[in-house]
Structure 1
Amino acid sequence: MSSPLTAFLQLGLVPPVSFPTDSRYYSYSTLTYTTPPSQSGPGQSVTYLARRIVPQPGTPNYATVAQHTVVQGDRLDLIAAKYLGDPLLFWLLCDANGALRPEDLIATPGTTIAITMPQGVPGGTSV
């Protein structure tokens, strides 16, 4: 027995997930896995995001546009707004600096953050 949400998705009553252009998941598709059938019924459909591969920091995939030295009280969203023109692009800073947790980038005053733009991503402002 499928869930009501699955039924709505299959009937096209729920729109597919789309992410805004400033999302780290923009242009990534969703995939569906169907579990094996069991005694209680047919397999369940599970929708998930396609794997996102992040280029290593320092590769030609990133163009450095500025450097920022962290000071006490810095917020990553405000740094992104200042240098990239959009606070929601903080994830670009995480990717380019190899940070799995955003708070790691601003945890230590005096740390220098590379402000970069990956190839193919529009936006950014000159500083």
Structure 2
Amino acid sequence: MEKAKLKGRILNDLENLISRTCAKGKMTKRVQHIHSSIIKNHYNATDVCIDYHRKRVVMEILIDDSNYDPKTINVSMPTFNANFIFNSLCEFLKNCLDQDHKSLAYYAGLLSYYKNEQERMVLA
């Protein structure tokens, strides 16, 4: 029961964060990092570029990451270029949210990062 509550809380907090960051007029580097991190996690992408004005997301998606070795430099990973158009960035990002355990752990870290960055901004 507590796991379900925690899962719901993480997803709810992340959806609220997405709504807040999409509502702002100016996209800071921190906000862009959060948005691209969500997309990278969902699509298994290596490089994400969000064009906020033209409402496009361009990314390199890994086709097969079975050859990935974190101990070596991976220069020849098979990828393909994808170009998505969105009407609402907020809805696009919310649709990218996955509910598996690995993604939930990633989102918890992302929320912690955002909270720590926000606290540093207030203290500075």
Q: Same fold (TM over 0.5)?
A: no
Q: Bin the TM-score by the shorter chain.
A: under 0.3
Counting helix residues as a fraction of each chain, which structure ranks higher? Answer: 2
Q: Could you say which structure has the greater relative contact order, defined with CA pairs below 8 angstroms and 6 or more residues apart?
A: 2
Q: Give the TM-score of the pair, scaled to structure 1.
A: 0.25
Whichever of the two has the greater Rg, that structure is 1
